[in-house]
């Protein structure tokens, strides 16, 4: 089940990695190497399925080149990783992350987790909508097998996805024959990084990500881990430090900004993971792929069509929404939770700010319902 749970976060990992490679023409080697090493280390350190995911705001801005008319370059992404790493390492070591988290009320955390879950489900449904006659039965069959400890649902889903991918695109068989081993040694990616790359990456990519990271990848993941694995608790400072360290590593090897998203843990747990072993397994797979098959990554990822990734993402969202806990009792707190959840479906950073503001107004008796 740890092996099956290891692949429970592919619904968010693969689309962002493919976008970075396809749109920005980034080298898959550094991306997969950064993820692989970080997952292995986090698996051993935390001993729970705390995920390592792409930072979503940075990924969305970078791959859609939506920062006005600015053209995003790989060097700017490395600069964003470096800036992100320095910020969260500083916040974690000084304890600022923990103090900031203490200011966030429970209804806000509830709303962020619930909204993220619904957002994942909506995203998964959109991906499945491309082929409902495939996605619907796959979703039903996977749901029925989720609690089966003999037949891991994730393995069957990935096997089905690979088969469907080959049937729908026969040229994939020819491409797979060209996959070959080509060993590459790690190298330092920041030798060509300019101060301008660092500044633009920090301002246009890293800065908009901060509220989302605090809400989802520091506060929410700490809450989720400690609720599901109370015997192995973590705190916000520790999570912030690991976020900082893995982004400094990623910048150094030419990777992308990473975080510990709450949705990733839900995905790993949903498909069977209960320990850090799941992260170590996935990390080893990505590390081997980086070192030996980095030139064939695009072909290997084509094995998993969007409709199958949509099933994973939908079930991950359902699991995350279920872990949000009980709805707050008071009407005012329920209002804060609901508006935070609704906004989180659209933009978690804005939801975080709005939820904190509404919670403060409620505490000061300025918000009466």
Query: What is the distance between the alpha carbons of residues 309 and 131, in angstroms, rounded to a whole number?
Result: 12
Is there a contact between 252 and 86 (Cβ–Cβ < 8 Å)? Answer: no
H or E element, residue 258: strand 258-259
Query: What is the distance between the alpha carbons of residues 228 and 157, in angstroms, rounded to a whole number?
Result: 25
How many CB atoms lie under 10 A from the CB of residue 345? 18
Q: Collapsing DSSP states into helix, strand and coil, what is residue 261?
A: coil
231: left (phi over 0), alpha (psi -120 to 50) or beta: alpha
**Confidence category of residue 131, pLDDT binned at 50, 70, 90:** confident
Distances (CA, A) of 364 to 37, 77, 337, 368: 46, 41, 17, 10
H or E element, residue 53: strand 53-54
> According to the model, what pLDDT value does residue 70 have?
62
Q: Which of 74-88, 113-127, 138-152, 216-230 is least confident?
A: 138-152
Strand partners, 259: 53
272: left (phi over 0), alpha (psi -120 to 50) or beta: left
For residues 103-109, give the mean pLDDT.
81
H-type helices in 24-54, by residue range?
Answer: 28-46
pTM: 0.77
Query: What is the distance between the alpha carbons of residues 75 and 26, in angstroms, rounded to a whole number?
Result: 9
pLDDT in tens, 240-281: 999 999 999 999 999 999 999 888 888 898 888 999 999 999
H or E element, residue 54: strand 53-54
Is there a contact between 104 and 333 (Cβ–Cβ < 8 Å)? Answer: no
Is there a contact between 135 and 310 (Cβ–Cβ < 8 Å)? Answer: yes
């Amino acid at each position: 089940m740890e092996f099956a749970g290891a692949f429970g976060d592919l619904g968010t990992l693969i689309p962002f990695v493919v976008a970075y490679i396809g749109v920005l023409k980034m080298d898959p080697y550094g991306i997969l190497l950064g993820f692989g090493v970080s997952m292995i280390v986090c698996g051993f350190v935390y001993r729970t399925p705390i995920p390592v995911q792409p930072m979503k705001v940075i990924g969305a801005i970078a791959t859609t080149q939506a920062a006005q008319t600015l053209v995003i370059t790989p060097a700017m992404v490395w600069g964003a990783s470096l800036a992100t790493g320095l910020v969260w390492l500083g916040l974690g070591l000084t304890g600022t992350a923990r103090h900031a988290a203490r200011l966030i009320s429970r209804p806000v955390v509830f709303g962020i987790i619930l909204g993220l879950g619904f957002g994942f489900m909506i995203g998964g449904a959109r991906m499945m909508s491309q082929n409902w006659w495939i996605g619907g039965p796959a979703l039903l069959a996977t749901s029925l097998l989720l609690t089966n400890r003999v037949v891991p649902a994730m393995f069957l889903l990935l096997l089905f996805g690979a088969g469907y991918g080959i049937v729908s695109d026969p040229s994939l068989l020819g491409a797979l024959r060209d996959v070959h081993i080509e060993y590459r040694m790690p190298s330092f990616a920041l030798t060509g990084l300019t101060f301008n790359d660092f500044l633009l990456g920090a301002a246009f990519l890293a800065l908009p990500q901060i509220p989302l990271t605090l809400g989802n990848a520091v506060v929410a993941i700490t809450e989720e881990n400690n609720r599901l694995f109370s015997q192995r608790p973590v705190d916000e400072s520790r999570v912030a430090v690991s976020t900082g360290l893995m982004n400094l590593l990623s910048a150094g090897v030419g990777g992308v900004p990473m975080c510990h998203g709450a949705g990733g843990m839900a995905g790993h747990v949903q498909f069977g993971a209960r320990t850090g072993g799941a992260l170590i397994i996935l990390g080893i797979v990505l590390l081997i792929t980086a070192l030996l098959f980095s030139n064939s990554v695009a072909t290997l990822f084509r094995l998993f069509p969007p409709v199958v990734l949509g099933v994973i993402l939908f079930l991950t969202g359902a699991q995350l929404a279920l872990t949000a806990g009980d709805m707050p009792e008071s009407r005012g707190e329920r209002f804060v939770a609901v508006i935070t959840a609704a906004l989180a479906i659209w933009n978690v950073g804005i939801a975080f700010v709005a939820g904190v503001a509404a919670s403060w107004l409620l505490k000061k008796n300025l918000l009466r319902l």
